[in-house]
Structure 1
Amino acid sequence: MSAPTTERHTPAATTGPRPAPPRRRRRRRTALDWTLLGVASLVGLLIAVPFLLILVNSFKSPADYSTGGPLSLPTSLYLDGIVAFWERVDFPQKLLNSFVISGSVAVLAVLLSVLNAFALGIGRIKGRMWIVLLILLANMLPQEVLLYPLYFMFKEVGLYNTIWPVIIIFTVIQSAFGTYLLAAVYGTFPKEMLEAAALDGANRRQILWRIVFPISRPTLAVLLIFFFIWTWNEFLIPLTFLVSNAVQTVPVAVTVLQGDRMMDVTTTSASALLGLIPTLVFFLIFQRTLTRGITAGAVK
C-alpha cells in the first residue's frame, strides 16, 4: 500500500488594497518653537550678510562702488577684480599650497591623535591624568609665545621658508586637541569587547586597527574636517614661516598683496571671495559626513 499523501494548502492571496498605515500626528508648534526659529533665522541672516556683501562687491566695478557704495547692486558683471587678483598672486599655486598643507596636517594629526589616545585611554599608561592635563595646557598656549623658539629652531635645521615647519607645527597643535578629545572617548570604550578580542588572540595593533578604529571612525571624520578647515584659515604662523611667494597659502597671499600693492575695494572683495570658495566647497562636500559623525557619537 502506498503511503497517504498530505496536501499543503496555502492561503489565497488577497487581491484587495492593503490598509494604509496610520498617520503620525504632527506635533503642533508652540510659541517657544516659533521664537527659537525666528532667533535662528535672524542669526543666520546676520552671519550671511558679510558673505553677501563680499559676493556683490566682487562683481562690481570701482566706478559702481564709488557712486553707489557697498550696498548697491552692480550695474554690470565686472570680472576684472577677480582676474587681477588671480594673476597677481598666482592663485592656483597658493591654492595648491593651502590644500597640501591643510590635507597633510589633517591626516597626520588624526593619525597621531589616535595613537596617543589609544595609549592614554585604553593602554592606561602610568601618569595618564597628568599627561592629558599637560597636553591640555600646551594646547591653551597662544601662538605668539611659540613664534620665536620655533623660528630659531627651524632656521637652524634649514627648513625655514618651506611648507614643512607649518605642517609640523600644526600637526602637533591639532593632535594635542585630538588626543585630549579621543583619550576621553577611548577611556569609556567597552572593556568586554577588548577582552574578547584579546582572548581570540588579537594583539594591541590588531585591537586598534580592527576594533577601535572602525567604531570611532565617525569621530575621526569630524576631527579630520575640523583640522583641515582650522589649518586652512591659519594666518600668523604661515605668515612667519612662508616668506617666499612660491610657498605662501591663500590667506597669507591676500594680506601680503594688500600691504604690498594698492588694490581697490572690488579687487579686495574678489580676493576674499576666492579665498572663501575652497573652504565652502569642502564643507558642502563633507557636510553629511560631519553631521553623521556628530550625531553618531564615538562609540556605539
Structure 2
Amino acid sequence: MALVASGTTASPAAPAARGVGPLLRSWRERRRISQLELALRADSSARHISFVETGRSRPSEEMVLRLAEHLEVPVRERNALLVAAGYAPRYRQTPLDDPALGPLREGLERLIRGYEPYPALVVDATYDVVSANRGITMLLEGVPQRLLAPPLNAMRLTLHPEGLAPRIRNLREWRGHLLAQMERQLALHRSAALRELYEEVAAYTVPRGAREAAGQVPYFALPMRIEHDGRVLSFVSSISTFNTPMDVTVAELAIETFVPADPATVEYLHSSWAGESREAGRE
C-alpha cells in the first residue's frame, strides 16, 4: 500500500478566546507538575508562572514555546497556545501529498518495505493507515472488502467483529492494550475525531469464542497472537515517531512495526516470503 494523504485530521485546537493562561495551567496539571517545578525547569519563577496562568502577565512568544517544551505539549497544541497568547502559529501543517514531503514519503516507503516479510505500517493521529507493507497485506487476507475501503483505519480493522478480531487468539488482552493506548492519547490531545473513534471501537462486541491459544510460552512483552492460514503467529508491536518535528503532519505520524515473538513465526514468514518470491520469478 502506497503512502496517501490521510482522510482524517485531528480536531481544531481550543479557541484563543480561552486565553493562554488557562491552557498552560491545564497542561501543567495534566503533567502533575507544580508551578515551582515548572518555573525551575523553564528558568523562570513560580510568581511569573502564576501570573501567566491567571492572565495577569502576557508571556513572550519564547516563553510560551519554552513552557510548552517542558510540558511536552504536542506540536499541534503548541500552535494553539501561541494563538491563544496572540502570536502566529509556529508549526506548519503540510499535506502529506505535498511535494515538500516527497523525501519523507520515499523514506517511509523504503523503511517499511525493508522490514518485509515482517508487518509494518504508518498511521496518522487517528490511526488512519497512510502506508503499509506486504506483511500487513498478508494479515488482512479474508477481511471483508467494505472494511478495506479507504481510509483504512488500523484500530477499526483490528477490533471490528468482522475484521481481525475473530482471529486474534488473545483478543481480550490485546483489545485492552489498544484501548488503553487510545485513552493515553486522549489525555494529551483534544481530538474529537480520536474520541469518536475510541467510542466506536470500545463499543464493538467481543466475538463469541474469543479465547487464548493453548501452549503459550513466556514472552518479553504482550504479543498479538493471530491465526493465519491454520497457524498462530505471534507479534510484539513497536511504535516509532519523529524526534523534534517542525510540522504538525510529521509530528502526528507513527511507524508501527510487528516483531516476531517466537521462532515459529519467524520461520513461517520467511518460508512464505521465499515461496512468493519463487512464484513471482516464474511469472
Question: Which has the larger helix fraction?
Answer: 1
Range into which the TM-score falls when normalised by the shorter chain = under 0.3
Bigger radius of gyration among the two: 1
Relative contact order, higher structure (CA 8 A, sep 6+): 1
Q: TM-score, normalised by structure 1?
A: 0.20
Write 1 or 2 for the structure with the bigger share of strand. 2
